[in-house]
Amino acid sequence: MARATIDFIAFFALVVIALCLNAGSALATDWQKRNEEFGKNIEPLLKQFCYGCHSGAEAESGLALNNFPDAKSVFRQRRIWEKVAQRLDIADMPPVDSPQPTEAERKLVSEWIKSTLNDIDCGKTPNPGAVTLRRINRFEYRNSIRDLFAIDYEPALGFPGDDVGYGFDNIGDVLTLPPLLMEKYLRAAEEISQKVIVAPSSGPIYDSPRKISQLTADSGGKFEGNRFVFFSNGKTQFEEQAPWTGRYTLELGMAGSAAEGRYPKVVISIDGKKVEELTVKTDSPNNAESFKIPLKLRTGKRVFEIAFVNDHYIEAKDGKPAQDTNLYIYDLRITGQKPAEKVPESALPETHRELVRDSIPSANRSVADAAKDVIRRVASRAFRRPATDDELSRLAAIVEQTVQAGDSYEVGLQTALAAILVSPNFLFKIEEPAARIANEYPKLSDFELATRLSYFLWSSTPDRELLTLASKKQLREPGVLAAQLDRMIRDQRARDFVRNFAGQWLTLRKLDHFAPNEGMFPDWNEQIRDYSRTETYYLFLYVLRENMSVLRLLDADFSFMNEKLARFYGVPGVQGDKFQMVSLKGQKRLGILTHASVLAVTSNPTRTSPVKRGKWILDNILGLRNIPSEYQMILKGVLIVVAVLLQRQRR
């Protein structure tokens, strides 16, 4: 086994042993004993001093301590009971105007809580916990779009900033989906879909309104006020010059009055051929209703005819008013849009040709069937698993409905693609809950494993090779997973992992906001800022690809520089703009702690800051930021022992 691997395993083995050597912990938690202690010693004190205020539906601050029947229920709600112990330690609870426990009783409850919460079950029963539904962050979104469609969607950087947890912006528990981000996703989906699938360019719009006052009728009709009235059967005709053959719409604003429930009927004809008959049912002659009649017209002069055909009149009788069926026309216009012109094959992007191919509707192939082939190709990549038949049918229905509404097949595909890009199956890394077998961890599916690998090492979606292996269930075969890991680490996309992980772990993103005093540090400029960050990324990537010990990041006697950065450091013998490995043997400059990028983010504008650097080392190198305080001294001791052992080994 390589020495780097031995160092790594030894280091973490010692840490785990230290965490398990807690005074109140055994190799496996004795919950029966804990429950007996709770029932005998703790619960009576809680009843006496706490339940009065903290029980039932009306509990103070919503904290009902009587809802915890045993020790395990206390252990599961660590945050609540940590606060209870803190309030007991500072004698803040019970309130001063309530009966108080003795100091011994207060200490008994506090220490039992801490001991129970700090119990670590190092037994053989695995407890992997629940998997959080994790949204891809904005950097992963941009990378995924790039790898899916070869589009660098820069506006993704303008998405609302992702929440940070434990120093990283890809923690599922804090990655929320605010309304503003959802709006950004919708807009992005529309823009991206229009770049991926190119629809025929829309032709000119035809809009021909008619003045109602210019209409004439052969009989029974005339213009009155602001409307044309048919008070008896009659018809009106007008000519329209159709500029092209295609689809048009006749738009009419009409109202009517009824006699004995007989509403006016209208018959519309073009060139003497009846195309539509409709009934105008309105509650008042003054409230016009809009009617839209789709038409197919040939180019040239067309003669339109609108006829009122069911006049009916009832005279006033026995005190009842007269009734008359009349038709009132308020608005009349013809609209249309020239059919879109087909985009030349040479003007189509590669993504369009790859996705659409020959999946075109025809006399023998419906729109839905053709669309399913296209959608299957893109959805199965975007969802990082094969799209289901139900998903394909629903997305194909979107295309079909879009075409039925008068848009082109390509516009329908754009709409379906936009729906895919706002689907939770794309925006979230979804893992189906697996049945747990006794004493075994639930296994990920091959597709879920491929997704975890790709978003970990590439900050992007799985490529075709990973998905192909997953579909064949070969990803876990001996040697295959190791080969894929090696391929992925050596792929250019691994640089995204380095920028994201190292950039956040070492807080290099703060470098953008570092502004040293120009008078004291005249050699620092934007170029050196970028070069110094690149140096750290190069070293991190090299250690990763060469499978070196993680400790090499701290004591590497080499680095990566170009001529300008080497001159900034005072390192001789480096020429050219290209970054190259540079030996630092015999110099005091070793590892990332001496990199300009790290020194800058841990400094003040005019001077160094031992306090900032000390805290940075504790948080980012020793990892003490999120370790419970009772373990920090143990962990510090372990790290010192490991450091001494490694130092002796190197001697």
Domain locations along the chain: 34-117, 132-202+343-430, 205-337, 496-608
pLDDT digits (tens, 9 = 90+) for 161-209: 888 887 788 888 888 888 999 999 999 999 999 999 998 877 788 899 9
Q: How crowded is residue 60: how many other Cβ atoms within 10 Å of its Cβ? A: 12
Q: Is a pLDDT exceeding 90 seen at residue 239?
A: yes
- What secondary structure does DSSP assign to 163-204, as a single string? P-BTTBS--TTT----HHHHHHHHHHHHHHHHHHSPPPBP--
User: 513 Cβ partners below 8 Å, 6+ apart?
Assistant: none
How would residue 67 be classed by pLDDT, with cut points 50, 70 and 90?
A: confident
Compute how many other C-beta atoms are within 10 angstroms of the C-beta atom of residue 505. Answer: 14
pLDDT of residue 334: 94
Specify the CATH number for 205-337; select among 2.60.120.260, 3.40.190.10, 2.40.480.10, 3.40.50.150: 2.60.120.260
| 243: preceding bond cis by omega (within 30 degrees) | no
Check residue 617 and give its pLDDT: 83
Can you tell me the distance from the alpha carbon of 628 to that of 379, in angstroms, rounded to the nearest whole number? Answer: 44
Using 50, 70 and 90 to split pLDDT, how confident is the model at 3?
very low
Question: By three-state DSSP, how is residue 592 classified?
Answer: helix
Write the pLDDT tens digit of every residue in 376-405: 999 999 999 999 999 999 999 999 999 888
pLDDT band of residue 436 (cuts 50, 70, 90) is low
Residues with Cβ within 8 Å of residue 538, at least 6 apart in sequence: 559, 560, 579
CA distances from 12 to 15, 17, 559, 639 (A): 5, 9, 27, 10
User: pTM to 2 decimals?
Assistant: 0.64
Tokens 């820069």 found at: 154
